Amino acid sequence: MPSVASNQATTGAPAQDGQLREMTMGQAIREALAEELRRDPLVFIMGEDVAEAGTPFKVLSGLVEEFGPQRIIDSPISEAGISGLGVGAAMTGMRPVIDIMFGDFLGLAMDQIVNQAAKVHYMSGGKLRVPLVIRTTLGATRRTAAQHSQSLHAWVSHIPGLKVALPSTPYDAKGLLKTAIRDENPVVFFEDKMMYTLKGQVPVDDYTIPFGVADIKRVGSDITLVATSSMVQIALAAAEQLQTLGISAEVIDPRTTFPLDAQTLIASAMKTSRAIVIDEGYEQYGVTAELAAIIADGAFYHLDAPVKRLGAMNVPVPFSPVLEDQTVPTPPAVVALAKTLCGRV
């Protein structure tokens, strides 16, 4: 099937020909899974509450009715067991999609993911492959407290052998997930739990989005906003506010942290001469640090100001709504920092 790498307008609609329809991110993810299950009998889904319950977020509702409990498999409550079974099944030729309902629980399966899935191909001299997809979530502001609200994608982005995808729109979610399922390598696929109801345009025809190709969500000339996952919507909202102040912001979505399209980030910063990196993970030792360093190194002689970062506050995520909302980047915070960099304060 042909791959599609789109540059999207400010509306988030894919820039390609063909029939489009509006759907939520949850619907786009479910459709991608259903299409791949129909396309390839080696694909199956396994995890806690994926069958009858359709996961706590109801993204998988109805799949067990079409594909049966042999391919939509409810597992015991054991992230280590789910991941270990997924790695073994992938090594023997299956294409499992395992569901870790909260990214906070990845710590329970890190040996299987980091020491097994990521290294089997290398340590077998290329004889073994692990075509495994680990679907999990990130994101705060759902009022689920410190153990269910973290954004830990930096953990796995740090590990050679793993690919990491973070969709920000329904279009990206479907295209990236189909690519992940067809990939011969283990992919950790992060979905923001607050974005399942986000609506957008998705093609009717089959398509994939290649990994390692960033997307220019909005073209601008004064400052670059590099944002991941849910922070793309924050950046776009900030860009709208900045436009009223006469500041033109370009919004770049890397879409995958590995492989990373560093050149698009650098080229944008070279054009605008200023950059802010926005990510919902913890700011310390996080994704913002890596992306900011790449931009600063690659665009150094074209920058008129230091590359700045906005990440989650370095505290456990509070349960209190008033406190929780203060821990993650917001459009006003992006606007205030952009105004400072552009000399408008």
Mean pLDDT of 273-281: 97
**Rounded to whole angstroms, how far apart are CA atoms 310 and 198?**
23
**Rounded to whole angstroms, how far apart are CA atoms 47 and 62?**
15
HSE-CB at 59 with a 13 A cutoff on CA atoms is 32
- Per-residue model confidence as pLDDT tens digits over 119-150: 999 999 999 999 999 999 998 887 888 888 89
- Separation in Å, CA 303 to CA 17, 83, 140, 296: 37, 44, 32, 8
* DSSP calls for 119-155: THHHHTTTS-----EEEEEE-S-SS--TTS----HHH
Q: Which amino acid is at 165?
A: A
- Separation in Å, CA 206 to CA 22, 35, 166, 212, 262: 15, 9, 20, 20, 27
Q: Which amino acid is at 301?
A: Y
pLDDT given for residue 4 in this prediction: 36
* pLDDT surpasses 90 at 17: no
pLDDT given for residue 23 in this prediction: 97
Taking all residues of the chain, what is their mean pLDDT, rounded to a whole number? 93
* DSSP calls for 56-89: TT-TTTTHHHHH-TTTEEE--S-HHHHHHHHHHH
The count of residues in the chain is 345
Q: Is the torsion defined by CA of 8, 11, 12, 15 positive or negative?
A: negative
* pLDDT surpasses 70 at 8: no
Tokens matching residue 44? 């199956």
Tokens matching residue 146? 């410190």
Closest-CA residue to 82 (of 99, 105, 94, 68): 99
Among residues of the chain, what percentage have pLDDT more than 70? Answer: 95
Residues annotated as part of the active site? 148
**Rounded to whole angstroms, how far apart are CA atoms 305 and 224?**
12
Tokens matching residue 292? 């900011």
User: Scanning the structure block, which residue is given the tokens 């349960």?
Assistant: 319
Q: List, in sequence order, every residue forming a beta bridge with 203; answer none if it has no partner.
A: 20
215-341 sits in which CATH class?
Answer: alpha beta
Residue 100, SS3? Answer: strand
pLDDT given for residue 326 in this prediction: 87
Cis peptide before 259 (omega within 30 of 0): yes
Residue spans of beta strands (DSSP E) within the chain:
20-24, 43-47, 72-74, 95-100, 133-138, 163-165, 187-192, 199-203, 215-218, 223-227, 249-253, 256-258, 275-282, 308-312
Name the DSSP class of 208. Answer: B
Residue spans of beta strands (DSSP E) within 232-319:
249-253, 256-258, 275-282, 308-312
pLDDT given for residue 13 in this prediction: 52
Is CATH 3.60.110.10 what the domain over 20-203 is classified as, yes or no?
no
- Separation in Å, CA 208 to CA 26, 73, 97, 203: 17, 26, 17, 11
Is 224 within 8 Å of 274 (Cβ atoms)?
Answer: yes
Among residues of the chain, what percentage have pLDDT more than 90? Answer: 83
Mean pLDDT of 45-61: 87
What residue spans define the domains of the chain? 20-203, 215-341
* pLDDT surpasses 50 at 3: no
Closest-CA residue to 102 (of 56, 141, 59): 56
* pLDDT surpasses 70 at 6: no
Q: How far is CA 345 from the centre of its chain?
A: 33
**Rounded to whole angstroms, how far apart are CA atoms 14 and 308?**
29
Neighbours of 111 (CB within 10 A): 12
Q: How confident is the model at residue 7 (pLDDT cuts 50, 70, 90)?
A: very low
pLDDT given for residue 177 in this prediction: 98
- Per-residue model confidence as pLDDT tens digits over 207-261: 999 999 999 999 999 999 999 999 999 999 999 999 999 999 999 999 999 999 9
**Rounded to whole angstroms, how far apart are CA atoms 133 and 99?**
9
Is 255 within 8 Å of 166 (Cβ atoms)?
Answer: yes
Lowest mean pLDDT among 19-33, 230-244, 319-333: 319-333
* pLDDT surpasses 70 at 343: yes
Q: CATH topology of 20-203 equal to that of 215-341?
A: yes
